[in-house]
């Protein structure tokens, strides 16, 4: 059952990858689209989870974790929306997925999941792959290459995934995953509204509303399916499996649909990243 939830999470994530590219392709405002997306996700999450509160009082640490994760969600999406157009879909997705080192270390250090040689080799490969992904391609002008975006994606995605693991282990006794995600997306929505007000651009185009709705549903369930998978599968294996599937799927999507061009160093980084993730999956099964 756990692997079914992982496959569903990957499917939702790849839909998001495609739709975020569509946002830029159609000239829609990313912040407006994301804000609508988080409003839709919040409403759905509240509607599906409001009747299942475990207790009346939620601990302060869980509230802070939810707010922190919500801020990371919208920041990460805004950065990703720029990176896919500057660095390409495959490279951007891979940088995000290599961030699994953060939730893996959270699982190992915080929750005492075992560590062995394949996992150590895999973690080493993650750093080498990220370095290769951050190298400027020979066919790119310096102004067109922004490795800092890849670093932000790496850290933002990693800490967001770690928050899901922490909730699964320590917060699920207080609220269910729907309400946890409602808090995350509600926070992201408020940040998005604040950004729109500061920019002074209040008008929403129909395409921005439509794309926001389309993104909101898979955005919500990609996280919910991951949390549900963590009930059955250890964090290191779960995050590793999700990452390798999204890396592969995202790269194929970038080549086949969007015609992304990758340098040899970037391709080497992607393949090394996949090998590193496979090593960690193998290590978790020993």
Query: pLDDT tens per residue, the chain (286 residues)?
Result: 778 999 999 999 889 888 887 887 888 888 899 899 999 999 999 998 866 565 567 899 999 999 999 999 888 878 877 887 787 766 777 777 778 889 988 988 999 887 788 888 987 888 787 777 665 544 444 445 678 888 898 899 899 999 999 999 999 888 889 999 999 999 999 999 998 888 887 788 899 999 999 999 999 999 999 999 998 888 877 887 787 777 777 777 777 776 777 778 778 878 888 898 788 778 767 6
Q: First CA to last CA across the chain, in angstroms?
A: 21
pLDDT score recorded for residue 9: 94
| CA–CA distances in Å: residue 128 to residues 16, 27, 166, 236 | 27, 35, 27, 19
Tokens of 56: 């009346």
CB neighbours (10 Å) of residue 154? 23
pTM of the model: 0.81
- Distance, in Å, from the CA atom of 131 to the CA atom of 56, rounded to the nearest integer, reads 47
Query: What pLDDT digit, counting tens, does each position of 235-270 carry?
Result: 877 887 787 777 777 777 777 776 777 778 778 878
Q: Where are the alpha helices (DSSP H) in 230-263?
A: 235-256
Query: What pLDDT digit, counting tens, does each position of 202-248 carry?
Result: 788 899 999 999 999 999 999 999 999 998 888 877 887 787 777 77
Q: Where are the alpha helices (DSSP H) in the chain?
A: 2-25, 30-49, 60-86, 89-98, 101-105, 111, 117-133, 147-166, 177-199, 206-229, 235-256, 264-284
């Amino acid at each position: 059952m756990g692997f079914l939830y992982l496959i569903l999470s990957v499917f939702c994530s790849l839909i998001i990858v495609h739709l975020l590219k569509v946002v830029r392709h159609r000239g829609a405002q990313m912040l407006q689209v994301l804000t609508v997306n988080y409003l839709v996700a919040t409403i759905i999450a509240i509607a599906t989870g409001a009747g299942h509160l475990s207790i009346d009082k939620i601990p302060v640490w869980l509230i802070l974790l939810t707010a922190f994760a919500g801020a990371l969600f919208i920041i990460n999406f805004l950065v990703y929306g720029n990176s896919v157009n500057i660095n390409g879909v495959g490279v951007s997705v891979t940088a995000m997925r290599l961030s699994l080192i953060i939730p893996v270390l959270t699982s190992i250090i915080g929750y005492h999941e075992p560590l062995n040689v394949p996992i150590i080799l895999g973690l080493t490969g993650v750093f080498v792959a990220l370095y290769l992904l951050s190298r400027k391609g020979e066919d790119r002008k310096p102004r067109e290459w922004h490795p800092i975006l890849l670093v932000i994606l790496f850290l933002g995605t990693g800490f967001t995934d770690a928050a899901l693991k922490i909730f699964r282990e320590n917060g699920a006794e207080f609220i269910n995953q729907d309400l946890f995600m409602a808090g995350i997306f509600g926070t992201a929505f408020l940040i998005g509204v604040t950004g729109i007000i500061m920019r002074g651009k209040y008008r929403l185009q129909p395409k921005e509303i439509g794309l926001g709705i389309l993104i909101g549903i898979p955005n919500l369930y990609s996280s919910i399916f991951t949390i549900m998978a963590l009930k059955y599968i250890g964090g290191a294996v779960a995050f590793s499996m999700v990452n390798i599937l999204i890396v592969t799927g995202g790269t194929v999507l970038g080549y086949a649909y969007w015609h992304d061009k990758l340098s040899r160093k970037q391709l080497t980084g992607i393949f090394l990243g996949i090998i590193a993730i496979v090593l960690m999956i193998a290590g978790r099964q020993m």
